[in-house]
Every structure is written in structure tokens, then in C-alpha cells.
Amino acid sequence: MTFPICGKRESEIQSLEDWFRFAPPANPATQWQPGRSAMEFARAWLDNGCPRVPHDLERLLLECEETQGLTFQKAFAEAKTQFKDTARGPRSHDLLVEAQTHTGQLVVLGIEGKEREEFDGTLDQSIKDAKRKSECTQLPKRVDNFCRALFGRPYDTDLKDLRYQFFSGICGTLVEGQRRGATLSVFVVIQFKTTATPKVDFERNANDYVRFVRTLFKDDCMAVKDGKMYGPLCVPGSELVPAGRVIVGKITSEIALSPGISKS
């Protein structure tokens, strides 16, 4: 399956050098290294200069009838989604993908790559940090909008320990889906694991994902596993986020590092 991956100014990406030039990560000094999220994410999508769908992701998409047989049409690295408020900045997708079902329906996928980084702070901590910077921050209102959009209720203490990036990632994908006329929005996490990945960070991210999915689907005993898709779930939307159908999934990609690469 061939499809273009574009960076800023629609520049086509065909190599790691192109990816760094046209879609650099927010923190290149730490993220653009072997074994770290940004470089390994870019490497996963390139095969000798040709864009490709990672094999683990192909298998994940086959897990759900709604995403079987998708044809990837175009992808956008470090794509920005601006919400209609003044809180924080835009949502940055590691990769935003336009795909088509066998019946011609458009599907938008928001894909997030992680290695040891957190999925941002919890909702509670994100709000506290924002208020420390400015008492006039609009982040509490954005968080409330995200909670209403996905859970159909305002922000409350039952949601305070969920990570902000799950909300911004799914809500940003829904916004992009509506803008493009998609019938389904898919949010996927690719978790990279190497011999240098701190175990505590890997387990924290795995647990945070499980906690979010169980809360989203209102099932505390749900068996949430890598390599599985959950949904579609119809979410109600809010003034910032459109209603829509959502599927979420996660894969772990194990990377063999060359000897000598440290845990720093």
C-alpha cells in the first residue's frame, strides 16, 4: 500500500531526514534519538524511502470489522488541530491519516507514538499547572468540554486522574473527522519498547491507557489488551468537539537497539 506522508507546507516525506526537516518533534534533543518515540515512530512508517503501514498496525486494524480493508490515502506528520477556544495551543498529532473503507467511506485516524513520555499530565494536574501560570486560564473550560464530548458529563473527580492527551487526541481526531467528512474517527497508540525503556515508564503508560479505556466504556473489569480495538462508541460531543463514532486501540512495538545505547 503506497500513500504520501506530508509534513509542513505539504512537503512529501520519503526519509528520516525529510521527517526531521518537515515534521520535527517538539523536543528533538531528547525525542530524535534511536529508541526514542519520535525517531522510532518515523522509522516505523518508512521502508527504504517509501511510506508504509506498520505491520503491527495492519494487524490491529483487522481486529475490527469497521477498520478491516482500509486503504490509506494520505497522512500528515505533526498535523495541528486548532480547537475553537483560547486554552493552550492546538493538538499536535504524531500522524493524522485519511483512509477509505471498501465501500468508499472516509475514516480519519489520529496516531500517537510513545516510548517513555507520559500521556501529558492528569486532568487535575494539568488544570493546577495552568492556574499556577495564569488565574485567567481557559484550560478548565476546555477540559470540561472534552469530558462532555466523550463522557456526556462535566469534569468531575471521577475523571481527574485520567491523562489529558487521551482527551486531546480523541477530540482532535473527531474535529478532523468532521472537517473532512469522515464517518468514523480512530485513535491509536503505538507504544515503543526497547531494552533502554525504563520499566516504570512503560508500565505507567500501559496502566494509564487501560484506565482510560475502561472509564470511556464504563466497564471497570474490561479486559483491555494491546492488539485489540474497542468500539465503535458513539460520543455526544460538545461545543468544541463534534459528536461522532470513535474506535480506540493500542499496539506495542519492540525495538532492538544497538549495543551502547543508554537509558538516559
Confidence at residue 119, expressed as pLDDT on a 0 to 100 scale = 97
pLDDT grade for 86, boundaries at 50, 70 and 90: confident
122 forms beta bridges with: 163
Has residue 68 been placed in a domain? yes
The pTM for the full model equals 0.95
Has residue 163 been placed in a domain? yes
Residue 98's domain spans which residues?
5-254
Q: Which of 9, 31, 34 is nearest to 22 (CA)?
A: 9
Has residue 109 been placed in a domain? yes
Per-residue pLDDT for 121 more than 80? Answer: yes
How large is the angle between the packed helices 199-216 and 164-180, nearest 10 degrees?
A: 60
Distance CA 84, CA 177 (A): 15
Per-residue pLDDT for 261 more than 60? Answer: no
Q: Which of 119, 37, 30, 36 is nearest to 78 (CA)?
A: 37
Q: Which of 199, 257, 256, 190 is nearest to 226 (CA)?
A: 190
C-alpha cell at 99: 483512509
Query: In whole numbers, what is the pLDDT of the chain averaged over residues?
Result: 94
Has residue 249 been placed in a domain? yes
Distance CA 77, CA 101 (A): 22
Measured CA distances, 81 to 94, 110, 182, 262 (Å) = 11, 11, 15, 35
Distance CA 174, CA 244 (A): 7
Has residue 263 been placed in a domain? no
Has residue 46 been placed in a domain? yes
pLDDT grade for 27, boundaries at 50, 70 and 90: confident
Task: Tell me the per-residue pLDDT of 166-207, one tens digit each, with 9 for 90 and over.
Answer: 999 999 999 999 999 999 999 999 999 999 999 999 999 999
Has residue 264 been placed in a domain? no
Task: Tell me the per-residue pLDDT of 30-81, one tens digit each, with 9 for 90 and over.
Answer: 889 999 999 999 999 998 778 999 999 999 999 999 999 999 999 999 999 9
Q: DSSP labels for 144-189?
A: HHHHHHHHSS---TTTTTSBHHHHHHHHHHHHHHHHHT-SEEEEEE
Q: Residue 235: CB partners within 8 Å, gap ≥ 6? A: 149, 150, 151, 152, 174, 243, 244, 245, 246
pLDDT grade for 1, boundaries at 50, 70 and 90: low
Has residue 217 been placed in a domain? yes
Confidence at residue 223, expressed as pLDDT on a 0 to 100 scale = 95
Total domain count, the chain: 1
